[in-house]
Structure 1
Amino acid sequence: MNAKKLSLIKPGLLLLVGLGLTTACNEQAAREGIRVEDRSLSFIEIPAETITDKIRGGLLGQMIGVQNGLQYEFKFIEEPGNVSGYVPALPEGAITDDDTDFEWVYIYTMQQQRQLKIPYQNIATLWKERINKNIWCSNRYARSLMDIDIDPPHTGNIALNPWAEFNISGQFLCETFGLIAPAMPQSASKIGLHYTNVAIDYEPAQTTQFFTSMIATAFVESDIIKILDAGVQATDTSSILPMLVADLKEWHRQYPQDWKHTRKLIEEKYSPKTSWIRSNNGYELNSAGVVAALLYGEGDYARTMEFAYNFGWDADCNAATAGTILGTVKGYKWMMSQGWQIVDRYQNTTRDNMPEDETITSFADRVIELFELLNEENGGAKIVSNQRIVYKIPAEKPRAVVPLRTKDSQQKILLAALNSSIERDLLSEDRASSAKAVYLAICLDMQDELSQKHPNQWQRAIKELKGYYKVMNNVFWGSDFKTLNELKEKFIASGFTAPPRKLTDEEVYSSIIWKDPTEIVLE
């Protein structure tokens, strides 16, 4: 097939007014019950039942993608997968997983507090109360920084969290925020970034803008190419993502029947090839996996999931993202009419102090309530139009709401913001404050100045930081990639030594956060 067949799923359901709505699309929108109120105001009207259907469909599409994909997570690395004849199913419902349950914690709290952006200090408290196990990579690193009172978004700053430079939680932690913002991609990006910046920065932040904007656009556009274009418009022009999407479009055009060759081209151009984790947990290959699955899947949900699994790398994550987009396009009613075995359950197996009786639809209904809150805050409303209950929505053009932020620029911003407080915390008698001061000073290259100016307090603070054994485990045993190794060398130069062994997951998830470093015995 060629690229022209990508619009098989009700092409041109509606283009956002701000994107340039054509007369033909106005006519199509009218047939679908979606009305453009006033082109100059950029408002559109979408039936309430359509919004409900698409939010529920998007969340179900995400749940199926990740749940069915867990068996393929990091299974297909050197070679592509061989999944065939895939049939979507959730015979026992879905369970909490880090691809969905971070967002669940946020969505639940946002709904309870009727607040779209939970203050960052409260987010740190929320994590300490509810997110303490089954966390990995950049999120695990961020969680340990919270133990020394480094609050978000600093926990995801590229100068403080070495995973933040590449980790894919900018992708797998963002989809639900796109569902909150139908036809409002800028709002989707802003809300998504508020939460993903807890653990990521740099290019991963661009993936948040990219994917949330695609999902927001999928409420009003069914053509995969146009959805991809909206995502590109939401990224910084200096990001790698515009080039990546352009390459994937061209490779799909050249090799429409040879997805394996396209996968080879992705590996050749976009794999960093510096370490296993950096390549396979990075934004380059996994963003490409989502885009390629959407292109080769050509609007077919099951085929798109199959391609997401077969392109590989972090396959469950990639299928969840692609599944959210197509689930939004297709809608819940369509998905439930396919004869797939779907049980409406979302079982909590990971998150403390969260509901034990959640379903996929009750989760989705929380999202619907937050959409209504966002729509009202943006000037929209729920009204009766032509004898139908509709949402009047202020449609937005996709654009980058944050630029591509480098490590140098982020370090300068942190220095300006924290310089005086670091010295003050170093002199504090509070354990966490002094430990935080040493950590920040080393990351921001202030260690020589402060250790010479306050030698006694510096040595005391080093001892305090060593007692935060999970932080030390992350620095010295977290993984093997360039930015972490560079940070490790900074700590060694400042007098730290590696713990004798890596902590087990059970030890990391322990409620104990500090031990006297002179008494720590790692058996």
Structure 2
Amino acid sequence: MRAWAPIASSYIAYGTLGWVSDQVELDPAYTGGYFDAMRPVDLLADEVRQRRETGYDVDAVVREANRIDPADSSAVLELVDRLSLAERSPGWQYVEPDELEDIADSLGALPAAEAVPEPELTDKIQAAWLGRIAGCNVGKPVESGDYWTSERIRDYLLLADAYPLRDYVPALDPMPDGFRLVDCWPDTTRGNVHGSARDDDIDYAILALHLLETHGSSLRPEDVGGAWLRLFPIEQVYTAERAAYLNLVNGFTVPEVARRRNPYREWIGAQIRGDVFGYVHAGDPWAAARLSYQDAALSHVGNGIYGEMWAAALVAAAFTASSPREVVERALTVVPPQSRLAEAIRDVLALADAGTTWETALAAIQDRYGHYSWVHTINNAAIVAAALLWSDGDYLTGVGRVVMSGWDTDSNGATVGSVLGVLVGTRNLPEHLIAPLENRTRSALFGFDNSVISDLADRTVRLAVGGLE
């Protein structure tokens, strides 16, 4: 997940009563679309969007923003801070708690923990790491959701005689007019993969393993923040994580780290950090979700937190589930039922129950949830759930479909690849995706570059078997 490329933005929100079209529009000077917490104009534009998506009336602040100079950073930041005082409009129907105790109280019956035999556990954890890293690399060349829409991806793959996608994305030479791959393409396209490219979706998995080895079950958000400051360059973290990083540097503490000047607090950044919590709690979705909360709460609130808890539960459930459907259903039990994320996952399950084709389901998800940023939690989680449900339990089908869906392609490819890796095991992973990884991955984490994938898996097994202290 890397969300800094400039895009065109829309601030017409989908509210609980339908599309809201009479809101005051921000001046285009605020809509650069870099999603950068170090740019005051981005903070204002994206906070307006976040507030409107969560039912707040911010028209008065938008009117004032349109009267000031967007280059006046102090004035812009003052308005960003004023948005935190906005009042929610009547009719908001969701209940989306931030505290772990309140989240737990909102849930019904939790899935029971199930044991996984050690030989099977060892193989599945190895497959999970390989599946995650391969799936991430499949999605990287088309990771720019407002440019690489599902339609553009399909058109490109048809030109390349690679539709449906069941391999790394091919790089055409010459590149046809109207298409441009993301700048990582020389290392992530078919025939060019020699070891895994660096990606934050991989960095956070490596970091989670390190955090669990260091802190075990006593992990707290403050531990996560300290590791970020020691091990991550700020320009290698994005959206919510960059906003939280800045707050940490400026001396703010939890929970303010997640909330102050962080319009990305419900975006996908936490969801990409959850898998390893599921690996070490194989067969126990609630234990995985509960521990992943400590990671998510540093930088996220609401559906941003639920996204990581859900991802951790997805992976944990996969170790004992008999089908992708069972995985999705069990993971849903850790998500507050009156949240927008739970609503979205239920919508996808209903589409599957209705016998909808993959193409029709994708169109329905895009229509219902396409108003969110292409790096938001809710729309991407819906696509992940759909790719799993329509995967037929096949790794290539699931990863190919989630990448062809657009939005955050590398993050979603990683999550689907992780879950299906667990389900199918190492013997059923596609050799043409796995062999080019050469058992190693780059990383921006200080001291962790060129990590050996099998070593990451072995360390994870030790935690999963031995338990967390």
The one-letter code sitting in structure 2 at the alignment partner of 1:149 is G
Query: Contact between 1:123 and 1:152, CA under 8 Å: does it hold in 2?
Result: no
Q: Which residue of 1 aligns with 2:135?
A: 65
The equivalent residue for 2:231 is: 130
Cα distance in 2 for partners of 1:19, 1:152 equals 28
Which of residues 379, 385, 401 in structure 2 aligns to 1:291? 385
Give the structure 1 partner of residue 248 of structure 2. Answer: 146
Partner of residue 151, structure 2: 79
Q: Which moved more, 1:173-182 or 1:89-98?
A: 89-98
Say whether residues 1:231 and 2:331 are aligned partners.
yes
Letter in structure 2 aligned against 1:86: L
Pairing of 1:96-495 with structure 2 (within 5 A): 96-111=198-213, 113=214, 115-132=216-233, 133-157=235-259, 161-164=262-265, 166-254=266-354, 256-257=356-357, 259-271=358-370, 273=371, 278-335=372-429, 341-352=435-446, 354-374=447-467
**Cα separation, 2, equivalents of 1:45 and 1:336:** 27
Offset of 1:128 from its aligned partner? 1.6
TM-superposed deviation, 1:290:
0.4
Equivalents in 1 of 2:110, 2:388: separation in Å?
Answer: 21
The structural deviation recorded for 1:110 is 2.9
**CA displacement 1:4-24 (0-9 Å, x = unmatched):** xxxxxxxxxxxxxx989xxxx
**Count of aligned positions:** 328
In the alignment, the residues of structure 2 paired with residue 53 and residue 78 of structure 1 have an alpha-carbon distance, to the nearest angstrom, of 33
**Quick check: 1:232–1:241 contact (8 Å CA) kept in 2?**
no
1:152 deviates by 4.2
Contact 1:108–1:366 at 8 Å: present in 2 too?
no
Cα distance, 1:248–1:129 mapped onto 2, change above 3 Å: same
- For the pair shown, the structure with the greater C-alpha radius of gyration is 1
User: C-alpha separation between the residues in 2 aligned to 1:263 and 1:163?
Assistant: 24
Structure 2: runs of 5+ lacking an equivalent? 1-108, 158-162, 169-187
Q: Percent identity?
A: 20
Measured at CA, do residues 64 and 343 of structure 1 come closer, stay the same or move farther in structure 2, by a change above 3 Å?
Answer: closer
**Residue 190 of structure 1: CA displacement?**
1.6
Code of the residue aligned with 2:327 in structure 1: it is I
Change (3 A) 1:99 1:350: same
Structure 1 Cα separation of the partners of residues 223 and 461 of structure 2 = 23
The change in CA–CA distance for 1:43 and 1:152 in structure 2 (over 3 A counts) is closer
Q: SS at the partner of 2:393?
A: coil
Deviates more, 1:310-319 or 1:75-84: 75-84
Shift of the 88–108 alpha-carbon distance from structure 1 to 2, 3 Å rule, reads: farther
- Between the aligned partners of 1:190 and 1:339, the Cα distance in structure 2 is 33
Letter in 2 for 1:325: V
1:311 to partner: Cα distance: 1.1
- Give the Cα separation in 2 of the matches to 1:340 and 1:109: 26
> For residues 114 and 146 of structure 1, what CA distance do their matches in structure 2 show?
20
Contact 1:80 1:260 in 2 (8 A): no
Contact map agreement 2:136 2:410 (CA 8 A) in 1:
yes
One-letter identity of the residue aligned with 1:261:
T
Aligned AA for 2:116? I
Choose 69-78 or 53-62, whichever is displaced more: 69-78
Moved more, 50-59 or 122-131: 122-131
Structure 1 CA distance, aligned partners of 2:329 and 2:389?
12
Retained in 1: the 8 A contact 2:396–2:430? Answer: no
- After TM superposition, give the deviation of residue 43 of structure 1 in Å: 7.3
Give 1:217 shift: 0.9
Over 3 Å counting, the alpha-carbon distance change for 1:253 and 1:136 in structure 2 is same
* Compared CA separation, residues 338 and 47, structure 1 to 2 (3 A): farther
Paired with 1:219 and 1:125, the residues of 2 have a C-alpha distance of: 31
Q: Partner amino acid for 2:394?
A: D
Give how far 1:63 is off.
0.5
Corresponding residue for residue 493 of structure 1: none
- Whole-angstrom distance in 2 between the partners of 1:245 and 1:104: 28
Provide the C-alpha distance between the structure 2 equivalents of 1:122 and 1:139, rounded to a whole number of angstroms: 14
Deviation at 1:338, TM superposition (A): 7.5
SS in 2 for 1:46: coil
In 2, are the aligned partners of 1:210 and 1:231 still within 8 Å (CA)?
yes
How far apart are residue 88 of structure 1 and its match?
4.4
Contact 1:124 1:151 in 2 (8 A): no
Match of 2:451, SS? coil
Q: TM-score, normalised by structure 1?
A: 0.58
Distance between the aligned counterparts of 1:122 and 1:283, measured in 2? 24
Distance 1:181 1:255 in 2: 33
Amino acid corresponding to residue 194 of structure 2 in structure 1: E
Instruction: Please give the secondary structure, in 2, of the residue aligned with 1:163.
Output: coil
| 174-183 vs 120-129, greater mean Cα deviation | 120-129
**2:122 aligned to which of 52, 64, 68:** 52
Q: Secondary structure at the match of 1:192?
A: helix
Matches of 2:420 and 2:402, distance apart in 1: 12
Deviations 1:339-375 (A, max 9, x none): 85343433334222x2344211111122222223436
1:336 positional shift: 6.4
Do the aligned residues in 1 keep the contact of 2:280 with 2:461 (CA within 8 Å)? yes
- Helix, strand or coil for the counterpart of 2:276? helix
Deviation at 1:185, TM superposition (A): 1.1
Residue 442 of structure 1: aligned partner: none
